[in-house]
Amino acid sequence: MKGPAIFLAQFAGDEAPFNSLDAITKYMGDLGYKGVQIPTWDGRLFDLDTAAESQDYVDEVKGVCAANGVEVTELSTHLQGQLVATHPAYDRQFDGFAPTQYHGNREARTDWAVDQLKKAARASKRFGCTSHATFSGALLWHTMYPWPQRPVGLVEEGFAELARRWKPILDIFDDHGVDACYELHPGEDLHDGVTFEMFLDAVGNHPRANILYDPSHFVLQQLDYLAFIDIYHERIRAFHVKDAEFRPNGRSGVYGGYQGWVERPGRFRSLGDGQIDFSAIFSKLTQYGYDGWAVLEWECALKHPEQGAAEGAPFIARHMIRRAESAFDDFAGSGADDELIRDVLGLGRA
């Protein structure tokens, strides 16, 4: 496993040192981060259109990062991925994820988003990245709780349509040797293991359809985030290190009662302030041979982001495990040969 790294999306802003790639990577490098995950929609930091076409530009970005002690871990198209599939009920809210010329035109906005994903595959290859972070979008989320009863075949057709939109994108990612890693997230049609399996089946078990593992979203859903690793570790190709807590009470539970983040029973927290067992997570990922990056995604209902960032790098570093190259009890080994094995089994000499 590599790290610590940090997702820059929650820190980018109009004020220094968060308003340019050079300044923000120096800030993060000075905090001890070794890598940065770049939000491709933020023009203050990055130009995806240019990165897809120009190796010179990509080399320039890599040079800026290297001078500040970090490297690019993955590119992210969370906002563009969301727009690959949206329900009309959310159009006005999701318009803000796209350039103004596409507002009010869902088909054009979707075409733009699909093009962005394809450019992200090309740009990722130019960076030498083998994983990419994104969202699936959602056609079915408004039917998540089945009341009124869902029409027969609705879910199947929803995932079939999602697959029709994503299959050509996944093929482009395959052409460029990059995994598309979906962050399984409430609000997306891919939000847990079952929905990921439905999608995987719909895209024919596409080799590039993989998972960005973020345990915080599973805490809020009350899903076993450790068992999830046991089940899906072969598809986990990216990792957001993000904490959360779930504190149900007599007035509100999983759905949160339309409350703000501070008041919700389920809320995101800075690393170490929530309920997630990161020692167990890092152990399981190491056990299964995860060799990607451990990337802090900072989101917290209470703590200031600069404090969260400063605390995050040493937290991740403490939890990273250097895989043992030999068994701890090898010193007591007695070697083995066929005769010894038969003797230990009580079978006598051959």
Which amino acid would we find at residue 135? F
On whether the CB atoms of residues 283 and 230 are closer than 8 A, the answer is no
Asked if omega into 207 is within 30° of 0 (cis), the reply is no
What are 49-82's pLDDT values in tens digits? 999 999 999 999 999 999 999 999 999 999 999 9
User: What is the predicted pLDDT for the residue at 323?
Assistant: 87
What are 86-123's pLDDT values in tens digits? 999 999 999 999 999 999 999 999 999 999 999 999 99
User: What is the predicted pLDDT for the residue at 339?
Assistant: 85
Q: Beta 71-77 vs 35-39: how paired, if at all?
A: parallel
On whether the CB atoms of residues 229 and 288 are closer than 8 A, the answer is yes
| Distinct helix (H) and strand (E) counts, the chain | 13, 10
Nearest-angstrom CA–CA distance, 269 and 138 = 26
What are 216-255's pLDDT values in tens digits? 999 999 999 999 999 999 999 999 999 999 999 999 999 9
What are 307-340's pLDDT values in tens digits? 999 999 999 999 999 988 888 777 777 777 888 8
Q: What is the CATH number of domain 2-344?
A: 3.20.20.150
User: What is the predicted pLDDT for the residue at 350?
Assistant: 67
E strand residue ranges, the chain: 2-7, 35-39, 71-77, 131-134, 179-183, 209-213, 236-241, 243-246, 266-269, 293-296
- pTM of this prediction? 0.95
Instruction: Report how far Cα 198 is from the mean position of its chain's Cα atoms.
Output: 19
Identify the bridge partners of residue 236 per DSSP, sorted by sequence position. 211
CB atoms within 10 A of CB 251: 9
Q: 3-state DSSP call for residue 322?
A: coil
Residue 140 main-chain phi, psi, to 5 deg: -110, -5
